[in-house]
Structure 1
Amino acid sequence: MTCALFIHSSPYARHAHAYQLGLDILDYTQRGALPATVIERDLTSDPLPPLDDNYATALTSGAAHTDDRFALSEKLISELESSDTLLLAMPMHNFSVPAAFKLWIDYVVRIHRSFTSTKTGKVGLLTDRPTTILVSSGGFHCSEHAVQPDFLSPYVKHVLATIGIYDVVFHYLEGLTSGESAVASALRATRRQLQNAGLLDRHNDYARRANR
């Protein structure tokens, strides 16, 4: 049995389209030859507290990993270390990641714990694992209809590489504020991508679970 870490950060919480797709991926995974246990972290309904001066002081003073000031950071990094796969679902906010997810990044990207600094740059200390990232956006940023930049994808890719995670694939749900037909089209296109990637059943196109 494997372990999947599912992190989501939409203001719509469990009603978000990306979250629903994430659940379908996990459903399919749990029915596979190697079913997965799931660690779920909802960064919207259970938000992380802002970093404070105690944490910053511990970080810059080289305090031990066991220092109480690192307790939450240790818990979040341990969730990563316990997982064989990583699944992220998030909206694009103002061309980049939502604030709730940025805070998770600031807790898990920690010098001497999840990465080390060398003369040639930062080196990740965590084990690589397959990572699927579902990104929803009201506008268009990567298709032929793109009219805005995407700073989210390169940033998240670089941040994850900093801690040792390189096997990263993005799937996008674009144009979600363009009406019901646009939403349905985006969901169909992304489902096909996920099916082709072996993350959803090709022969069973799940209906979105709106009441979960």
Structure 2
Amino acid sequence: MKRILLLECSPHQQRASGSQLARRLIAARWPRAELLERDLVGEPLPPLGADYAAALTSSTALDDSAFACSEALIAELEASDCLIIVTPMHNFAVPAALKLWIDYVLRLHRSFAATPAGKVGLLQDRPTLVLVSAGGFYQGPRARQADFLTAYLRHVLSTLGITEVAFVHLQGLAHGEASVQAALDDALPQLQRTTSFYFDCATEIAP
């Protein structure tokens, strides 16, 4: 693993349980990898403006200033060998910060093409891990809410050309310290299985 792109999407930033787990994983599995961090909350992206919207629907050159933010984000993704997304579930789906990143990166003629058979990704596939944190439960016998995040994000990534995607879910984080610890305990074996299969590495992750 040479270069990892880490997307931080939580308002809690590095204090978030998912962020701490991701960093433990990176330190254990890929200590020599170059880590590129993009904190989508601490350093928020600019809102989509009229210039960008107009450029999307015209023959604007790739090096036009309207595409500067989009190009920078796509270039980061293209330069990575692995993508790790640490995100909370907000109102059943992705948070606004991650949605804005998606709106900049998912771009016609640049990261995907429109064909008679549908949208086709133009980016190279790469191992991708998504760590999802939620205050409630949306999977398993205790599920009490819908999950629109997993299917949506998997579809978005596949539209870019990224299909080697694994999800690890941290649920019940708003139910007290014992529930947080239980979520972390449940996530560790998930990470062991997932990263060994998707990322071809068998190093143990310390509890």
Same fold (TM over 0.5): yes
Describe how 1:1-212 pairs up with structure 2 within 5 A.
2-31=2-31, 35-197=32-194, 198=196, 201-202=203-204, 205-206=206-207
Please tell me the residue identity of whatever aligns with 1:21: L
Could you list the runs of 5+ residues in structure 2 that have no partner in the other structure? none
Question: In the alignment, is the contact (CA less than 8 A) between 1:115 and 1:163 conserved in 2?
Answer: yes
Structure 1 residue 62, shift from structure 2 partner: 2.2
Give the whole-Å Cα distance in 1 for the aligned partners of 2:55 and 2:34. 33
CA distance in 2, matches of 1:67, 1:120: 30
Determine what percentage of the aligned residue pairs are the same residue.
50
Q: Cα RMSD over matched residues? A: 1.3
Provide the secondary structure at the position in 1 that maps to 2:47. coil
Specify the code of the residue in structure 2 equivalent to 1:22.
A
Structure 1 unaligned residues grouped into runs of 5+: 207-212
- Deviation for aligned residue 1:14: 1.1
Looking at structure 2, the residues matched to 154 and 200 of structure 1 have their Cα atoms a distance apart, in angstroms, of 28
Asked if the contact 1:140–1:147 (Cα under 8 Å) also holds between the matched residues in 2, the reply is yes
- Matched residue type, 1:24: R
User: For 1:145 and 1:83, how far apart are their aligned partners in 2?
Assistant: 37
Q: Which amino acid aligns with 2:206?
A: D
**What is the CA-CA distance between 1:189 and the residue it aligns to?**
0.6
Counterparts of 1:196 and 1:111, CA distance in 2: 35
* Equivalent-residue separation in structure 2 for 1:37 and 1:138 (angstroms): 32
Distance 2:30 2:193 in 1: 18
Specify the SS of the correspondent of 2:130: strand
Matched residue type, 1:2: K
Q: Does structure 1 conserve the Cα–Cα contact (< 8 Å) formed by 2:29 and 2:203?
A: no
Runs of 4+ in 1 over 6 A off after TM superposition: none
Partner secondary structure for residue 63 of structure 1 = coil
Structure 2 equivalent of residue 210 of structure 1: none
Cα distance, 1:30 vs structure 2: 2.7
Distance in 2 (alpha carbons) for counterparts of 1:12 and 1:3: 24
What amino acid is aligned across from residue 85 of structure 1 in structure 2?
C
Distance in 2 separating the partners of 1:107 and 1:176: 30
C-alpha contact (below 8 Å) 1:132/1:169 kept by paired residues: yes
Cα distance in 2 for residues equivalent to 1:121 and 1:3 = 31
Q: Distance in 2 between matches of 1:25 and 1:92?
A: 21
Alpha-carbon displacement from aligned partner over 1:123-156 (angstroms, at most 9, x marks no partner): 0000000000000000000122111110000000
Q: CA offset at residue 200 of structure 1?
A: 7.7
